[in-house]
Each structure stands twice: as structure tokens, then as C-alpha cells.
């Protein structure tokens, strides 16, 4: 739902710009989604796909243009 994700210089951001994959079963997100009206649907999506959601901040989610992780094996 528009308006619940901040994006500097814009009215609102997008969920895709707030997160990224850490591994096949972990995803990181820029902040908390406690006040987002679609919170339950977002959490259900990750649970349904067996992906643990890791919150990087206690602040509201922020569109930072996606999160790209570089893993070394």
C-alpha cells in the first residue's frame, strides 16, 4: 500500500527497495514494518517461502534501492 515506506525526495518508496537476500533462507530488511498496513501479508509471504526476515533497524522501513549482499564462501 503506498505511503508507508520512506524514499528521500519522493512521496513514498517501494517494498523491493527495502530488502535483499542474505542467503536462500534469510532476507534482510532496512527497518521494522510494525506500522505498515500490509504487515501480516508481508510476514506471511516470507514464512510461506521459509525465509527468515532479519530487521536491520528499529526505525520504520526505508527504500534504499535494494540491499545487495556479497558473500564469501
Domain ranges of the chain: 1-73
Tell whether the model's pLDDT for residue 73 goes beyond 70: no
- Could you give the C-alpha distances from 18 to 7, 9, 46, 72, in angstroms and in order? 10, 16, 14, 23
Cell for 9? 525526495
pLDDT tens-digit series, residues 4-60: 999 999 999 999 999 999 999 999 999 999 999 999 999 999 999 999 999 999 999
Contact 1, 11 (CB under 8 A): no
Tell whether the model's pLDDT for residue 72 goes beyond 60: no
pLDDT at residue number 1? 67
Query: In a 3-state reduction of DSSP, which class is residue 19?
Result: strand
Amino acid at each position: 500500500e503506498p505511503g508507508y515506506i520512506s524514499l528521500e525526495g519522493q512521496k513514498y518508496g517501494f517494498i523491493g527497495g527495502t530488502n535483499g537476500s542474505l542467503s536462500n533462507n534469510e532476507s534482510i530488511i532496512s527497518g521494522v514494518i510494525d506500522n505498515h498496513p500490509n504487515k501480516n501479508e508481508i510476514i506471511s509471504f516470507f514464512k510461506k517461502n521459509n525465509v527468515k526476515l532479519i530487521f536491520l533497524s528499529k526505525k520504520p522501513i526505508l527504500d534504499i534501492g535494494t540491499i545487495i549482499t556479497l558473500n564469501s564462501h
